[in-house]
């Protein structure tokens, strides 16, 4: 990332868990000249054959001229024309020979520096492009004024996540702070891994998602030890709503005075990262994007009334361009004159705090990756034993939020655990593990009495009432349409 930015080569970081088909689609969309990978990668204690998956994704031919491979695990890999070992490319010069100097490229401020994929729009890829100087401006301003008063900084998240790139690498390094980078997952080799790293490196600020914090809270065998609590001064939760119970749990072991405590941040990929934090480290210097909640006509609504969040002031991290076949679908950001429409629903509370209620469109952020509910639904509808389907979001004690597939089986099909497994596996194989529903709610039928939005709200309520065993156990529950109608009436 840093080397590409230094020479003016635009880059994109692809998520490791992507299925080969999705990986090939993104490579085809970005059209890189060079692909960096490694022989294998450690995940959950096992080796993922990263080079083999990259080779399979490139079989259709996407214009990649060279694949640069990092020797990481010692896994045997196939070798093709254009493949290069990284250690051969960066081998040191002969003893006594002068080291080559390569000054940074002289580039315009708006030179593209990286691209990030959004959730697909109606099956078509969309990528947001950001430029060099605005990216650095946002990284610098938010790191010191929103997140960290200084010290060791760790963003616990996948490097393919925009926040991990901008706020986990660029921001800390631009200020001269130490940034922690970690390979693997926080539950391997044990649930103590997070606290071991916080204590070992003296992490002062930890940034991650509420889903990760909720998972850590559920590890009763690994409570925060005193040495880790003594080092940690700030916890920043971003990308998903932070519920009051989870905030209270974090506040029980993080000091909450001055520039310490927990902060709840909001931002967007289109805006280059985090835009606001409810408890910024330096509120007097944190840039103000002019966040206002408006109704459909664009008029500001009073406190306590839900609406769409807009930006009324310029923001340095605004996207440079939108590329990909689905790009025309993103024009809703500029549907109102002189403001940027976020597509997020929010409400401003009497204490001036913004509470984010989710997306207006059917997109959800799970552990830093955008997942399109309509894309998940389309995969479910492709199954021959599915007559209709809907996808809803359900609160999950272990993961924060979870996708639930609400499925109407086709006539004569048994709504059993085998079918549920086939459906969730199909989503995982097509869209990746994060898009895989955590449970399936079979429904007798979908009637015509409810609008699509009311039906989704009612199905969400029914899924919440059924409980985890009815959605994931060996005997899935089948809800009657009358149950859905009753839930719609109760929520009216």
| 3-class state of residue 203 by DSSP | strand
pLDDT of 260-313, one tens digit each? 789 999 999 999 999 999 999 999 999 999 999 999 889 999 999 999 999 999
CATH architecture classification, 364-490? 2-Layer Sandwich (3.30)
- CATH superfamily to which 129-361 belongs: ANL, N-terminal domain (3.40.50.12780)
In the structure encoding, which two tokens stand for residue 433, read together? 């593990």
pLDDT tens-digit map of 447-483? 888 888 889 889 988 988 886 666 766 778 889 999 8
* Strand pairing class (273-277; 261-268): antiparallel
CB atoms within 10 A of CB 159: 18
Give this prediction's pTM: 0.79
Buried b (16+ CB within 10 A) or exposed e, 80-109: eeebeeeeeeeeeeeeeeeeeeeeeeebee
CA–CA distance, 356 with 239 (Å, rounded to integer):
10
- Taking the C-alpha atoms of residue 214 and residue 107, their distance in angstroms, rounded to an integer, is 43
Per-residue pLDDT tens over the stretch 359-379:
777 777 776 567 888 889 989
CA 487, CA 481: separation in Å to the nearest integer? Answer: 10
- Say if CB 413 and CB 447 are below 8 A apart: no
The reported pLDDT for the residue numbered 492 is 46
**236-259: burial string, b at 16+ Cβ within 10 Å, e else:** bbbbbbbeeebbebbeeebeeeeb
Helix (H, G, I), strand (E, B) or coil at 334: helix
Q: Does the pLDDT of residue 233 top 60, yes or no? A: yes
Kindly tell me the burial class for residue 429, based on how many C-beta atoms sit within 10 Å of its own C-beta (0-12, 13-18, 19 or more). middle
Q: Are 49 and 19 in contact (CB under 8 A)?
A: no
């Amino acid at each position: 990332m840093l080397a590409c930015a230094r020479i003016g080569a635009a880059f994109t970081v692809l998520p490791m868990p992507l299925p080969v088909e999705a990986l090939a689609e993104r490579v085809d969309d970005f059209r890189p000249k060079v692909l960096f990978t490694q022989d294998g990668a450690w995940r959950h204690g096992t080796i993922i054959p990263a080079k083999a998956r990259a080779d399979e994704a490139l079989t259709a031919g996407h214009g990649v001229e060279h694949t640069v491979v990092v020797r990481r695990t010692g896994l045997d890999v196939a070798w093709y024309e254009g493949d290069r070992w990284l250690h051969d490319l960066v081998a040191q010069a002969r003893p006594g020979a002068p080291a080559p100097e390569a000054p940074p490229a002289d580039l315009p401020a708006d030179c593209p520096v990286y691209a990030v994929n959004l959730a697909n729009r109606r099956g078509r890829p969309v990528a947001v492009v950001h430029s060099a100087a605005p990216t650095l401006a946002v990284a610098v301003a938010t790191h010191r004024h929103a997140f960290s008063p200084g010290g060791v900084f760790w963003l616990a998240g996948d490097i393919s996540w925009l926040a991990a790139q901008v706020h986990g690498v660029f921001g800390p390094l631009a200020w001269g702070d130490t940034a922690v980078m970690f390979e693997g997952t926080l539950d391997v080799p044990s649930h103590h891994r997070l606290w071991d790293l916080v204590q070992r490196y003296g992490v002062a600020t930890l940034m991650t998602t509420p889903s990760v914090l909720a998972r850590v809270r559920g590890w009763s065998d690994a409570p925060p030890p005193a040495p880790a609590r003594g080092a940690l001064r700030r916890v920043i939760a971003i990308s998903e709503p932070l519920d009051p119970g989870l905030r209270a749990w974090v506040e029980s072991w993080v000091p909450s005075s001055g520039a310490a405590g927990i902060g709840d941040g909001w931002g967007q990929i289109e805006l280059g990262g985090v835009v606001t934090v409810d408890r910024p480290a330096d509120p007097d210097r944190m840039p103000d994007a002019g966040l206002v909640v408006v109704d459909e006509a664009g008029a500001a609504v009073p406190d306590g009334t839900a609406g769409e969040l807009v930006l009324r002031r310029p923001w340095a991290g605004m996207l440079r361009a939108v590329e990909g076949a689905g790009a025309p679908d993103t024009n809703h950001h500029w549907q109102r004159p002189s403001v940027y429409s976020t597509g997020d629903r929010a409400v401003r509370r009497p204490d001036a705090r913004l509470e984010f209620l989710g997306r207006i469109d059917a997109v959800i952020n799970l552990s830093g990756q955008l997942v399109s509910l309509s894309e998940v639904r389309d995969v479910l509808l492709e199954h021959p034993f599915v007559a209709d389907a809907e996808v809803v979001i359900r609160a999950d004690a272990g993961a924060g939020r979870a996708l639930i597939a609400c499925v109407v089986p086709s006539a004569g099909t048994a709504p059993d655990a085998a079918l549920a497994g086939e459906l969730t596996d199909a989503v995982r194989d097509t869209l990746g593990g994060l898009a895989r529903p955590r449970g399936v709610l079979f429904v007798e039928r979908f009637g015509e009495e409810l609008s699509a939005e009311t039906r989704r709200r009612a199905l969400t309520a029914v899924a919440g009432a059924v409980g985890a065993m009815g959605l994931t156990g060996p005997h899935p529950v089948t809800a009657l349409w009358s149950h859905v109608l009753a839930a719609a009436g109760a929520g009216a």
